[in-house]
Amino acid sequence: MQLTPREKLLALALAVFVAVWSLFAFAVNPAVDRIETLGRLIPEKQDELRKLSDGSKEYVFLRDTLDLLRTKVASQQNGFELLPFLETLVRESGLEKKVAAMKQQIVPLDPQYYETIVEVRLQNLTLSQLLDFLCKAESSEVLVKTKTLHVTRNLTNPNHLDSTVEIHSAKLASGQVARM
């Protein structure tokens, strides 16, 4: 079978067309679709990466804070008790006659730690006396935290206050060694 030059040219053009169409259908078009998909996914993945990085930073901060807290609790004096400490602060602040009640509660946090909570009810005191007491508690060498503070006007003397202060302190359970 002999083909004329025109038929040969037509067959060559058809072969080139089929080759170009095949290249486009099987290589270029899927690549373009994949690029579009990746264009949509990249911002989503960058957002997820940013959230993961922020979570990682927060985790490291919390872990380091917890390690520091454990170190402080472990270094606290073995014989430290919160109630006698607060009684001493009350005497130093001159508030012995202002104390209506002091209640202590011990709450286990986990097998190694427990928390001592002392609720101090003070009556008929000035704002400066209350602030002095709280500052002495917070600025002391021992690890104590004022968790709640309720202040109301004294019913008999409107220039004075009644207050309920809840102070917390963490401590190692007896016989335990702090883990880091």
pLDDT tens, position by position, 67-103: 887 777 777 766 778 889 899 999 988 989 999 999 9
- CATH number assigned to the domain comprising residue 132: 3.30.70.60
> Do 57 and 36 share a structural domain?
yes
Q: Quote the DSSP letter at residue 144.
A: -
Q: Does the residue 86 lie in any domain?
A: yes
> Do 93 and 65 share a structural domain?
no
* Dist. CA 41–CA 39, nearest whole Å: 6
> Do 106 and 30 share a structural domain?
no
Q: What is the mean pLDDT of residues 29-41?
A: 91
- What is the pLDDT, as a whole number, of residue 47? 95
- What is the pLDDT, as a whole number, of residue 77? 61
**Residue-wise over 126-149: b if at least 16 C-beta within 10 A, else e?**
eeebbebbbeebeeeeebbeeeee
> Do 117 and 168 share a structural domain?
yes
> Do 151 and 87 share a structural domain?
yes
Does the pLDDT at position 162 exceed 90?
A: yes
* Locus of tokens 């996914």: 41
Does the pLDDT at position 149 exceed 60?
A: yes
- What is the pLDDT, as a whole number, of residue 161? 92
3-state secondary structure (DSSP) of residue 139: coil
Q: Quote the DSSP letter at residue 175.
A: T
Q: Does the residue 6 lie in any domain?
A: yes
Of 123, 136, 128, 131, nearest to 87 by C-alpha is 136
Does the pLDDT at position 20 exceed 90?
A: yes
* Dist. CA 38–CA 43, nearest whole Å: 9
Average pLDDT over the chain, rounded to an integer: 87
Enclosing domain of residue 36: 1-75
pTM above 0.75, yes or no: no
3-state secondary structure (DSSP) of residue 151: strand
